[in-house]
């Protein structure tokens, strides 16, 4: 499986298939690359190369043969809301990513060991914050303009066990949907039942936090994984590099647990994830500023299913995903969140690698969030509907037009429903 972890972790478009995050497959396959067999073909015309920058005159292949994989990419976007929201307007933004992954078994003979380091550099403006006023950010590639350490970890695999320690990002391994990764609205990535209820969205794009993750896969169809993270990654403006580490104390700890079940009847793979989380910190009561709550928790489920394939051996076909999660109490923004959608890869015979997608997300505010709303016409929920088409122009470049309909932006009837249109171009270096 070809891999571009950074672009996938942020939900950004990529020119290869989405990798399966560590912990979702048997640990002996976690981070499995085509290391020794993979090449960086650039012997034909530029549009047929595997990467936009080619093989670096053979240096890339030499590094890969020694277990060293330098990777990087760029996505550029333009967004606008011609009607609805707080005010009509348009924005543009860019997201750079880069990093290195080292297979220590190939490089130094250390069996089952891997080092990984990755960074994000967002640049631009957020249409949701500036113009639409909605909770579900229309682009999953926007953040405060800075350079962030996303992940820096060491992983050791021994038989069915995998241990990962260092700076970790929970959105790379928990609560994600393979089919949902196509969509550009941030709600379909790191879900609002986590991002809306954890301090500063939790350990997720654009920065992780110190932590440890243990995964065990006793069989090919079952994986159990558990992770603990620094409880507060701090606001982007207060942690502009992603290296503000402060374990315990007032930050508390975030504990995530997930069980994953897989199946593939007649070449139609599916996966079910059931998870729960607990945070040990203190949380302010949204309805009563004089009160705080000790701890916080929630539960969720995710399902991915390939519904139909014209050929069981091909990747084209119709897929479906659904997620739902909730948290109790007045100290959470969302009491319940759910999303679902369909993806169709290879809708047109002449465009076998293109993917069409339609999805809807709905977040219901908690009673405390409704009472604390500053809107003159509060609503109970916000809904986002997204229609998108990912066009594979070359092995290293995609173009993705996108349309979103935001219903009750900010869970309020104060602003008109917003029509959002966008275009993303992504390049793998």
| Six token digits for residue 241 | 């590099």
User: What pLDDT score was predicted for residue 286?
Assistant: 79
pLDDT band at 253 (very low <50, low <70, confident <90, very high): very high
| Strand ranges (E), 220-354 | 222-230, 253-263, 270-284, 292-308, 317-326, 334-345
Let me know if 353 is exposed, middle or buried by CB neighbors in 10 A (0-12, 13-18, 19+).
Answer: middle
Residue 6 near residue 96, CB atoms below 8 Å? no
Cβ-proximal residues to 290 (8 Å cutoff; 6+ apart), any chain:
none
Average pLDDT estimate for 134-144 = 96
- Min mean pLDDT across 2-16, 135-149, 191-205, 302-316 is at 2-16
Residue 373 above 50 pLDDT? Answer: yes
Please state, in angstroms and rounded to a whole number, the distance separating the CA atoms of residues 118 and 121.
Answer: 10
Cβ-proximal residues to 33 (8 Å cutoff; 6+ apart), any chain:
3, 69, 101, 103
pLDDT tens-digit readout, 275-284: 999 999 988 8
User: What pLDDT score was predicted for residue 324?
Assistant: 98
Regarding beta strands 317-326 and 292-308, do their DSSP bridges make them parallel or antiparallel, or are they unpaired? antiparallel
SS3 of residue 414 by DSSP: coil
User: What pLDDT score was predicted for residue 32?
Assistant: 37
User: What pLDDT score was predicted for residue 349?
Assistant: 85
Residue 305 above 50 pLDDT? Answer: yes
Among 168, 167, 155, CA closest to 112 = 155
pTM of this prediction? 0.90
Q: Please, what's the largest Cα pairwise distance for the chain?
A: 67
User: What pLDDT score was predicted for residue 60?
Assistant: 93
User: What pLDDT score was predicted for residue 7?
Assistant: 37
User: What pLDDT score was predicted for residue 34?
Assistant: 35
Residue 237 above 70 pLDDT? Answer: yes
Residue 405 above 90 pLDDT? Answer: yes
Rg (CA), the chain: 21
pLDDT band at 241 (very low <50, low <70, confident <90, very high): very high
pLDDT tens-digit readout, 326-368: 998 788 999 999 999 999 999 888 899 999 999 999 999 988 8
- Percent of the chain whose predicted confidence (pLDDT) is above 90: 75
Residue 113 DSSP symbol: E
pLDDT tens-digit readout, 11-68: 333 333 333 333 333 333 333 333 334 567 777 889 888 899 999 989 999 999 999 9
pLDDT tens-digit readout, 75-128: 999 999 999 999 999 999 999 999 999 999 999 999 999 999 999 999 999 999
Residue 50 near residue 39, CB atoms below 8 Å? yes
Give Cα 268 to chain centroid, integer Å: 23
Residue 207 DSSP symbol: B
Residue 20 DSSP symbol: P
Residue 322 near residue 338, CB atoms below 8 Å? yes
Apex 351 CA angle, 349 and 356, nearest 5: 100
Apex 90 CA angle, 85 and 96, nearest 5: 115
User: What pLDDT score was predicted for residue 377?
Assistant: 81
């Amino acid at each position: 499986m070809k891999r571009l972890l950074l672009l996938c972790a942020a939900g950004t478009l990529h020119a290869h298939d989405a990798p399966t995050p560590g912990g979702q497959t048997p640990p002996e396959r976690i981070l499995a690359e085509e290391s020794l067999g993979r090449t960086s073909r650039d012997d034909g015309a530029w549009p047929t190369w595997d990467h936009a920058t080619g093989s670096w005159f053979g240096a890339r292949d030499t590094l890969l043969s020694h277990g060293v994989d330098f990777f990087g990419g760029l996505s550029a976007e333009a967004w606008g809301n011609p009607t609805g929201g707080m005010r009509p307007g348009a924005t543009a933004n860019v997201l750079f990513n880069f990093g290195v992954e080292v297979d220590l078994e190939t490089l130094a003979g250390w069996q089952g060991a891997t080092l990984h380091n990755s960074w994000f550099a967002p640049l631009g403006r957020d249409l949701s914050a500036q113009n639409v006023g909605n909770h579900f950010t229309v682009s999953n590639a926007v953040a405060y303009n800075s350079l962030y350490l996303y992940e820096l970890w060491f992983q050791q695999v021994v038989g069915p066990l995998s241990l990962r320690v260092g700076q970790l990002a929970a959105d790379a391994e928990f609560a994600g949907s393979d089919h949902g990764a196509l969509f550009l609205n941030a709600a379909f990535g790191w879900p609002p039942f986590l991002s809306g209820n954890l301090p500063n969205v939790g350990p997720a794009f654009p920065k992780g936090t110190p932590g440890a993750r243990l995964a065990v896969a006793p069989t090919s169809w079952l994986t159990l994984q558990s992770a603990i993270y620094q409880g507060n990654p701090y606001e982007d403006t207060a942690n502009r590099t992603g290296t503000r580490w402060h374990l315990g104390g007032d930050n508390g700890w975030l504990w995530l647990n997930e069980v994953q079940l897989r199946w593939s009847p007649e070449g139609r793979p599916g996966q079910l994830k059931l998870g729960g989380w607990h945070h040990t910190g203190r949380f302010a009561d949204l309805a009563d500023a004089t009160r705080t709550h000790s701890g916080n928790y929630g539960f969720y489920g995710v399902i991915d299913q390939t519904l139909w394939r014209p050929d069981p051996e091909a990747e084209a076909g119709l897929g479906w995903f659904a997620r739902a999660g909730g948290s109790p109490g007045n100290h959470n923004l969302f009491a319940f969140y759910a999303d679902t959608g369909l993806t169709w890869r290879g809708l047109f015979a002449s465009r076998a690698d293109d993917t069409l997608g339609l999805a809807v997300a709905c977040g219901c505010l908690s009673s405390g969030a409704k009472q604390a709303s500053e809107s003159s016409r509060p609503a109970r929920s916000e809904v986002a509907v997204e229609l998108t088409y990912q066009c594979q122009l070359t092995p290293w470049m995609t173009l993705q037009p996108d349309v979103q309909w935001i219903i009750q932006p900010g869970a309020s009837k104060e602003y008109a429903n917003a029509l959002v249109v966008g275009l993303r171009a992504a390049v793998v270096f």
